[in-house]
Chain A
Amino acid sequence: MGHTIIEKIIGRNTGKDVKPGDIVTVNVDRVMIHDIFIPFVADKFEEMGFTELWDPDKVVLIYDHLVPASQVDDTRHFRTGNAFVKKYGLKNIHRSDGICHQLMTEAGYVKPGHIAFGTDSHTTTYGCVGAFSSGIGYTEMASVLGTGQMWIKVPETIKITVNGKLPEHVTSKDVILRLIGDLGADGATYQALEFTGTAIEAMSVASRMTIANMAIEAGAKCAVFTPDEKTADYCGITLTDAERSLKGDPDAGYVREICYEASDLVPVMACPSQVDNIRPVRELVGVSIDQVFIGSCTNGRLEDLQCAAAILKGKKVAPFVKLIVTPASRKIYREAMADGTLAALSEAGAIITHPGCGLCCGRAGGILTDGERVVATNNRNFLGRMGTSKVEIYLASPATAAACAAAGKIVEP
Chain B
Amino acid sequence: MGMTMAEKIIACAAGVDTVHAGDIQTVTLDRLMSNDGTTHLTIDMYNNDLKHPRIQDVEKLVWIVDHNMPCDSPKTAGTHKKMRDFAREHGITFYEGEGVCHQIMLEKHVRPGELIFGADSHTCAYGALGAFGTGVGCTDYLYAMVTGSSWLLAPETIRFNLTGELPQGVYARDLILTIIGRIGANGANYMAMEFAGEGLHSLTMSDRISICNLCVEAGAKTALMEVDDVAMDYLKTHGREPKACFTSDPDARFAAVYDIDLSEIRPVVAKPHFVDNVVPARECLGVKIDEAFLGSCNNGRIEDLRVGAAVIKGKKVAPEVRFLVVPASREVYQQAMAEGLLDTFMEAGAIVMNPNCSVCWGSCQGVIGEGETLISTGTRNFKGRSGHRDSFVYLASSATVTASAVRGEITTADTL
Contacts and interface: CB of A to CB of B under 8 A. Distances in A.
| Complex contact flag A–B (Cβ < 8 Å) | yes
Interface of A: 67-76, 78-79, 82, 95-96, 290, 319-320, 322, 324, 330, 333-334, 337-338, 342-343, 346-347, 351-354, 358-359, 363-372, 387-388
A330 B346 contact: yes
A366 B354 CA distance: 12
B233 interface: no
B269 interface: no
A73 B320 CA distance: 17
Contact of A354 (B73, B352, B359): B352
Nearest to B342: A337
18 contacts: A68-B324, A68-B365, A69-B369, A71-B367, A72-B367, A75-B367, A76-B370, A95-B349, A96-B350, A324-B97, A334-B343, A343-B337, A364-B72, A365-B72, A367-B73, A367-B76, A369-B77, A371-B81
A353 to B, nearest CB: 5
B388 interface: yes
B81 A70 contact: no
A68 B337 CA distance: 20
B78 interface: yes
A352 B354 contact: yes
Contacts of A69: 322, 365-369, 387
Contacts of B288: none
Contacts of A363: 72
A68 B78 contact: no
4 A-B pairs with least C-beta separation: A75-B369, A366-B70, A369-B77, A68-B366
A367 B354 contact: no
Given A72-B368, A365-B72, 17 more contacts: A68-B353, A72-B367, A75-B368, A75-B372, A79-B369, A96-B322, A324-B97, A333-B352, A337-B337, A351-B97, A352-B333, A354-B352, A364-B70, A364-B365, A367-B71, A369-B81, A372-B81
Contacts of B343: 334, 337-338
B354 A351 contact: yes
A322 B70 contact: yes
A79 B371 CA distance: 11
Contacts of B240: none
B81 A72 contact: no
A245 B334 CA distance: 47
A368 B346 contact: no
Interface residues of B, number: 48
A358 B351 CA distance: 13
Contacts of B369: 69, 72-76, 79
A229 B349 CA distance: 31
A322 to B, nearest CB: 6
B194 interface: no
Instruction: Name, among A333, A352, A358, A387, the residue most crowded by chain B CB atoms within 10 Å (CB to CB).
Output: A352
Interface string B335-359: 0011000110011011111100011
Nearest to A75: B369
Contacts of A324: 70, 97
Contacts of A343: 334, 337-338
User: In the complex, which of the residues B97, B319, B387 has the most CB atoms of chain A within 10 Å of its own CB atom?
Assistant: B97
A250 to B, nearest CB: 48
Contacts of B30: none
A359 B351 contact: no
B387 A68 contact: no
B108 interface: no
**Most chain A CB within a 10 A radius of its CB, from B94, B347, B354, B370:** B354
B367 to A, nearest CB: 5
A72 to B, nearest CB: 4
Nearest to A323: B97
Contact of B337 (A70, A76, A342, A351): A342
A387 B74 contact: yes
Given A74-B369, A353-B354, A95 B322 contact: yes
B346 A364 contact: no
Interface of B: 69-78, 81, 84, 88, 94, 96-97, 290, 319-320, 322, 324, 330, 333-334, 337-338, 342-343, 346-347, 349-354, 358-359, 364-370, 372, 387-388
Nearest to B386: A72
Given A96-B349, A337-B337, A346 B367 contact: no
Contacts of A73: 369
B97 A322 contact: yes
A70 B364 contact: yes
Contact of B70 (A74, A290, A365): A365
Contact of A387 (B77, B319, B359): B77
Contacts of A67: 322, 351
Nearest to B324: A68
Nearest to B330: A346
B71 A96 contact: no
* Interface hub of A68, A347, A352 (most chain B Cβ within 10 A): A68
A370 B352 CA distance: 30
A67 B320 CA distance: 13
Contacts of A372: 77, 81
Contacts of B347: 334
A219 B415 CA distance: 56
Given A75-B372, A353-B354, A354-B353, A68 B322 contact: yes
Contacts of B76: 367
A95 B322 CA distance: 8
Contact of B351 (A322, A342, A354, A364): A354
A364 B74 CA distance: 10
Nearest to B78: A369
Nearest to B333: A346
A367 B77 contact: yes
Q: Choose among B77, B319, B358 the residue with the greatest number of A CB atoms under 10 Å from its CB.
A: B77
A130 B343 CA distance: 32
A75 B290 contact: yes
A351 B367 contact: no
Nearest to A358: B70
A342 B324 CA distance: 19
Nearest to B77: A369
Contacts of A351: 69-70, 97, 354
A365 B356 CA distance: 12
A359 B69 CA distance: 12
Contacts of B88: 319-320
Given A79-B369, A343-B338, A366-B71, A353 B353 contact: yes
A358 B343 CA distance: 20
Contacts of A71: 367
A369 B365 contact: no
A356 to B, nearest CB: 9
A330 to B, nearest CB: 6
B108 to A, nearest CB: 15
Nearest to B75: A369
A365 B77 CA distance: 11
Contact of A346 (B334, B352, B358): B334
Contacts of A342: 337
A372 B352 CA distance: 28
